[in-house]
Structure 1
């Protein structure tokens, strides 16, 4: 859920690319205080969607008691006026959401619950100032509406809330190695500043006596004899939770759907409580239908409303899809495909009958998607989540719906449900209907493939809705025709794909900005747009290694942005300065590269061992720079399309290995080997799973590269031990594949999965035979050729599996060179047509989640470009070793 919320936040400002929330086009709804000249003696600043006002010369402390004020959009202007006046009187710095549009968006049901309702944040300099201002606000704002802030303690009956937390941006690592906001412990250590949905205090902080009555009131309000005991939470959102509960007296199991007042706003401005009571009315009208849960009433507990519904035993249709989907399970024989197609037809028919029954009672459902359908053990279906169920002719209540399943605005109720039904049918056959959200013609492409693959006749599926929609015609638009041509021949048009991807990457470049150079995954904003995974370093690496032009201003941008990055948070190979250093070194910026790496080495070492963010990646960067043939020049030549693919511009003056960097890499390798063998070096943790970037396979790669440079035999033993630890995570999968088992998931990918593991294992086997490791490789190779892959990217998608499959097809050392890509690799490459969207001469690639396009290395166009480059290269050019170097910024 946190990842989904972060993604949604970065979808607010742009419909094409993931974008910084601060670039939201909200000028028309900015509050006057955001536009007016700041009061005398005050300074204004902006960050993201927030505007701050600070008394001149005042430096807030690192941490303390902070005050939050919540509001509803209709009363926000007046609440801001009152609060700002009191802050000026008390000379307390504060920040506020800058516009009504920003307030509505941050109150959306998909936003983080921990931040829900926060409209203003106040930073009193000490405890006495905090208590005085909190009391003044409680009096001045008494009775004004605002959502309850779950992480805080409420003061009186006003929308005023308090908690102890950080005032400044401090960071530390949590127990999982992730960088998180921090507080300073009295002993000087930085510890995580926990920001969840429960009011809690750091152990060393005492509650002021003035707050104790409010704590007592909170406790008393929560104990009102509610007759249900919650067994577990099923789902959380900004609107409230969904819980499995049991009646204390009867033992009856029920589902409790929680709604928090003024929270979880939708496009119409309705809050969760409004939608809950709409659902109650709909379920009451639909009582007696076996496709609808029985309703047992509405209860209010404290400030929250609960709809009590029948508990439906079974699984969601989404879970059924994941379990059954024929394209990733088994051998995909005609019998298996026919059986799956029959199951889809049966589900779709039962859903059609359910919708007809609802329509017969004068209602539409309004939000049909796989997570809103329950499948009972006997196969019967029940629709759940009737928040948008309203009269068939209701023109005011908006439609809901997942991306690609929502009918166009203005579609009448019954027709909107039929539109969603047809989209859901297609989604069960090929779960990529998000692509129709980008280009409606994609639905036609997907449908043609599904009909052919599952042997469906022209009349299969629910009737076409009487409006433009998925599969409404047999003709695609010009963009889809372009994509079809690129993949239409016996071999994909590699040159045409390259031109389109490069055009798309170049068109997205924004060197005038300081927060990013190329559009990518939302995580790229956290690195200042620098990192290899989601920032400029990865894109420039892909351009250089594919022989494309790297504009000098882009190199300058990366150099400047990397030097601006906080050296206390250097990150690792894929998310920080070490990776940027490797790319800049290859582009001729030797001095800058060394400075960046020195900054990374001076920071406290990462607790993780992996290649992605941890010590193995930093040590690999140190080794690469230690042995680099770069000159000391700090000027960067342009790398033109005439440069040899895979090489940088010629640079004279090769240097001898740097002994300090080489020793650092060796020392780290010894620590990592001790970890693999069961010791626990201080502050170092082993990865929980397996793979090239997130597992110990990356550690093994470090050992093998060090072996090549030093010849120290213990490194080969260490690589084998690391690989055997990763091999223990590998398990037989469907259809004879071998995949990494991670809980209920089975993974093939390069970052976490068997694909990346297999590449390193092949390199190890070139040095030493190992029957256990060798026995896993055929199953991994089989898995890399899967027909269906949900995302197109390099580290967790089709592009990476394509490159891995082709590299694993390379013969062993000493054998004749491999030929062109094998038929299953070419077939998989053609299925990139599902994802690529043509816009004029540009090809755009959807990133993680498929909600927006990305140009980055890990999830977007740069990674696809790099993968296709390996397929189009001369036979034998990219075996496992060459591909590993390509993937790790070599």
Structure 2
């Protein structure tokens, strides 16, 4: 799953779906150079938010010393003009952020700090030209402002930075087997191009003599008199870090909040330094309150500003919610829920008093959410992060806040804090408030459910804000969703129709980069793959008997051919899965061609799992080997058997041709996929070693499972416990059940009831198939035997009301992290459609009709 910073990047251009940043509507702030005709002998290219100017008569060098130029918004146009003039004179290709809006967004607080400040990138063709440009740029841009680029070496006092790296896309595998950007070693071998936040030079590269004074200046930078020693980094962002530290003389532990100049811009363009000093003023004004950290001052070290404040013992409120949350720990009766409700009441009362104390000093807090509250060991609460604390009547500084917890724009200071207090209270009861960011009425649904489930009195909790009361009428879209799910059984037919309408409404066959909106990861695969791309959506439509337009199948085949054959991916993230889907849609020749492209890739993936690794590729080969119903293709069958043998060797600890065992367990991310491959080959060949291999793999998977205090069986993965199909006990249980249908294994059988119990837990954070409610409730239906929809399954389906979004006659499904909607198989509407199809017992009435009793494992793995 993409990190929060990458997710944020794909939330910029569209409020409904995850979208490539290239579609940011920034035409009004484009720089003239982006739109003007390129100079004679030059050509323009666009990629994401970047525009490149390239000489027509030559391609860029493969790698070398590159130059970055940083800037601030009010100097960007002049910096671009002056830098471009130098590049054009020397024939040096370069790229730049295309608009002021793009610059503001890429400089934002929640963007990756490794890219902070990069406004222009220059690609000199050799070291001589590089040094000439460095000299001219440092003189032309002297005195200009810009963020410090952490990964680079700064040249003098200008916003000019350099590092050695790749100029064009080259890829290799790192030590973990991941595909990463590459440099070419003098030996000709491709090695990782390490890109971090520390300036480093490849071991074979000599730093030019002209750069050595700047390297020495970097090493000498700092403040030797700074009296604190950092002991732990707590958090990093584009704005700076937050650190635990100790005073070297007194030993007092403090928190250092770092602010980097010109970095971490917010919605109104304020940078981290401005906000840090605003926080210092607020904490000074609030001195003496026990709900506010004591402030010890501000110190500048080199160019970075540090706010020094009291270290508060305790955990953040979000950490406490995760640790205590009753609905994922088997609490069922009012008596079992009562301690958690009492804790919520206590925290809410503390927050109410804290806000009242802040307001009494004439300030609003402006950024209340569970990550900005520390709960002391004695239960007291402390507010932290006062970057947006200003006067109560301030109308110029918009409040911040987490997604779904923000008051409507223009809400006055005390009222905005009251809204955030109510939203934080509801988050403690139902940590799904991102849904209110899609539709404020969704918060009403969550509140009503919580009040009923926790047995709260009508006056419990803070007053519902007026902005929420205004969207809670009896004829809202939320009542439409409830009507589809309530009653003795859900309205399966109408749910199907509305999910299909939502999928069709999001289709964009005119685009080359995607056919359906899905997870941001789809943009890295050309929008074709099974998990997040068109293949998964078309597969789901086909399996539920819905029409699949020929134009959509044509799009998938054409896009698959455009994908880089050197990075074919696996069953769920690459060409092998797409090949199987094309064959199933009546294009066996296309499917075979696409699979052959994938199998020809070298070197092969070293992962062993089903999602991206060898088990999945072999299963795809097996699926295509059996296409058409005649005798299996011997070449593809042999390929699958060879992989099965290597996987068995891996499980047994023998040499396995470079394969790496997954760190955890599950159908898609563990060795359960290998066991499934063994089972299917055993059914086809009857060879006993394959059945034994399946059991060995499953027993290794079972070693990751633990029985929780509530009796559920989950996969332990570090501090997490997982039930999902992707990674978790749910996916493992499906393959174990398939094995038990062939052979006895009491140890495996004993785990299945606990897994099923976990799959119908009330609270599930996301609705999707691979890591959400859709997959869990379908797994519970499969493990339940003949009765797929007993009372516990139906109760879980009803709780989809927390997530489903009504849009006319369509239903939309929020994807991973709940920030935007998705139609894909792994996280979105296609996966939910497939799960509900299975639970409803419906068959298909289109080509390739299958039995209504088709198993979930078959549906999930293209069987």
TM-score range, shorter chain: over 0.9
Aligned to 2:41: 41
| Distance in structure 2 (CA, Å) of the matches to 1:153 and 1:313 | 38
Structure 1 outlier segments of 4+, above 6 Å? 875-881
Matched residue, 1:612? 611
CA RMSD of aligned residues (A): 1.5
**Aligned with 2:731 (options 749, 756, 773):** 756
What's 1:738 paired with? Answer: 713
Which secondary structure does the structure 2 equivalent of 1:180 belong to?
strand
Secondary structure at 1:165 match in 2: strand
Measure how far apart 1:463 and its partner are.
2.2
Pairing 1:342-421 to 2, within 5 Å after superposition: 342-421=342-421
Separation in structure 1 between the aligned mates of residue 27 and residue 388 of structure 2, nearest angstrom? 30
The offset of 1:123, in angstroms, is 0.3
Distance 2:855 2:151 in 1: 50
Alpha-carbon shift at residue 656 of structure 1 (Å): 2.8
Deviation at 1:878, TM superposition (A): 8.8
Equivalent residue number for residue 670 of structure 2: 695
User: Residues of 1 paired with 2:313 and 2:639: CA distance?
Assistant: 57
Alignment check: 8 A CA contact 2:842 2:852 kept:
no
| CA deviation vs aligned residue, 1:512-547 (integer Å, no higher than 9, x gap) | 000000000000000000000000000000000000
Q: Distance in 2 between matches of 1:734 and 1:524?
A: 38
CA spacing shift, 1:473–1:208, aligned 2, 3 Å: closer
Structure 1 residue 819: deviation in Å? 3.2
> CA separation in 1, counterparts of 2:475 and 2:137?
58
| Contact 1:616-1:702 within 8 A present in 2 as well | yes
1:623 has 2:603 as partner: no
Question: 2: distance between equivalents of 1:680 and 1:769?
Answer: 29
**Distance (Å, rounded) in 1 between the aligned partners of 2:790 and 2:851:** 14
Q: CA offsets, 1:795-822, max 9 Å, x none?
A: 0000000110000011xxxxxxx13511
**Structure 2 unaligned spans of 5+:** 845-849
**Could you tell me which residue of structure 2 aligns to residue 562 of structure 1?**
560
CA contact (8 A) 2:644 2:678 kept: yes
Q: Aligned runs of 1:62-77 on 2, under 5 Å?
A: 62-77=62-77
Q: Distance in 1 between matches of 2:292 and 2:66?
A: 46
Task: Tell me what 1:847 maps to.
Answer: 815
Please say if residues 807 and 879 of structure 1, whose CA atoms lie closer than 8 Å, have aligned partners that are also in contact: no
Kindly state the Cα deviation for residue 188 of structure 1 after the two structures are TM-superposed. 2.0
Residues 317-361 of structure 1: CA distance to partner in whole angstroms, max 9, x if unpaired? 001101111110034222111221111111101100000000000
What is the rounded CA distance, in whole Å, between the counterparts of 1:854 and 1:728 in structure 2? 34
1:656 aligns with 2:624: no
Q: How far 1:2 moved relative to its partner?
A: 6.0
2:688 maps to 713
Range moving further from structure 2, 166-175 or 384-393? 166-175
Q: Pairwise mapping of residues 20-99 of structure 1 onto structure 2 (< 5 A)?
A: 20-99=20-99
SS at match of 2:404: coil
Does 1:882 find its partner at 2:855? yes
1:833 equivalent in alignment to 2:793: no
Distance 1:831 1:85, change over 3 A: same
For 1:462-505, what per-residue CA distance to the aligned partner results, in whole angstroms no more than 9, with x for missing partners?
A: 1233x312x56752553112101101211000001000000000
Find the counterpart in structure 2 of residue 126 from structure 1. 126
User: Which of 752, 772, 785 is residue 747 of structure 2 equivalent to?
Assistant: 772
- The answer as to whether partners of 1:749 and 1:801 remain within 8 angstroms in 2 is yes
Separation (CA, whole Å) in 1 of partners of 2:492 and 2:470:
31
SS at match of 1:718: helix
Structure 2 match to 1:246: 246
- Corresponding residue of 1:572: 570
Q: In the alignment, which of 737, 756, 777 is matched to residue 802 of structure 1?
A: 777
Check whether the contact 1:55–1:92 (CA below 8 A) recurs between aligned residues.
Answer: yes
State the match for 1:553 in structure 2. Answer: 551
Q: 2: distance between equivalents of 1:413 and 1:885?
A: 55
- Are the aligned partners of 1:441 and 1:477 in contact in 2 as well (CA < 8 Å)? no
Q: TM-score, normalised by structure 1?
A: 0.95
1:881 CA displacement: 7.4
Supply the distance in 1 between the matched residues of 2:163 and 2:751 (Cα, whole angstroms).
Answer: 53
The residue correspondences of 1:208-607 to structure 2 (distance < 5 A) are 208-465=208-465, 467-469=466-468, 474-603=472-601, 604-607=603-606
Aligned to 1:101: 101
Are 2:331 and 2:337, in contact at CA under 8 Å, matched by a contact in 1?
no
Cα distance change, pair 15–476 in 1 and its aligned pair in 2 (3 A) = farther
CA distance in 1, matches of 2:459, 2:711: 35
Asked if the contact 2:503/2:823 (under 8 Å) is kept, the reply is yes
Candidates 785, 794, 809, aligned match of 2:760:
785
**How far, CA to CA, are the matches of 2:48 and 2:215 in structure 1?**
33
CA distance in 1, matches of 2:851, 2:654: 36
Kindly state the Cα deviation for residue 724 of structure 1 after the two structures are TM-superposed. Answer: 1.0
Q: 1:387 to 1:834 in 2, by over 3 A?
A: same
| Structure 2 CA distance for aligned equivalents of residues 410 and 535 of structure 1 | 39
Structure 1: 5+ residue runs without aligned partners? 630-653, 811-817
Shift of 1:681: 2.5
Number of aligned residue pairs: 857
Q: Structure 1's 312 and 878: CA in aligned 2 closer, same or farther, altered over 3 A?
A: farther
In structure 1, distance between residues paired with 2:335 and 2:121: 61
SS at match of 2:388: coil
SS at match of 1:735: coil
**What is the alpha-carbon distance in structure 1 between the residues aligned to residue 114 and residue 661 of structure 2?**
30
SS of the aligned residue for 2:43 comes to strand
**Aligned 8 A contact 1:820 1:875 in 2:** no
CA deviation vs aligned residue, 1:537-590 (integer Å, no higher than 9, x gap): 000000000000101100000000001000000000010000000100001111
| Aligned match of 1:637 | none
Q: Distance in 2 between matches of 1:878 and 1:113?
A: 52
Specify the SS of the correspondent of 2:364: coil
CA drift at 1:206: 1.5
Distance 1:357 1:3 in 2: 36
- Secondary structure of residue in 2 paired with 1:468: helix
Q: Show CA shifts across 1:227-246 (max 9, x none).
A: 11111110010000001111
Equivalent-residue separation in structure 1 for 2:29 and 2:567 (angstroms): 36
Deviation at 1:592, TM superposition (A): 1.2
- For residue 45 of structure 2, give the secondary structure of its aligned residue in structure 1: strand
Q: 1:224 Cα shift?
A: 2.9
- Residues 144-186 of structure 1, C-alpha deviation per residue, up to 9 Å, x if partnerless? 0000000000011000000111111112222233222111222
1:407-429 Cα deviation digits (max 9, x unpaired): 11111111000000001111111
State the distance in 2 between where 1:588 and 1:874 align: 22
TM-score normalised by length of structure 2:
0.98
Q: Contact conserved, 1:737 with 1:782, CA < 8 A, in 2?
A: yes
Q: CA shift at 1:872, angstroms?
A: 0.6
| Partner Cα separation in structure 1 for residue 538 and residue 752 of structure 2 | 32
Q: Is residue 862 of structure 2 the alignment partner of residue 863 of structure 1?
A: no
Structure 1, 180-189 or 352-361: larger mean CA deviation: 180-189
Contact 2:588–2:627 (8 Å) recurs in 1 = no
For residues 36 and 481 of structure 1, what CA distance do their matches in structure 2 show?
A: 52
Cα distance in 2 for residues equivalent to 1:375 and 1:125: 56
Q: Distance in 2 between matches of 1:135 and 1:224?
A: 31
Distance 2:7 2:843 in 1: 40
Aligned to 2:847: none
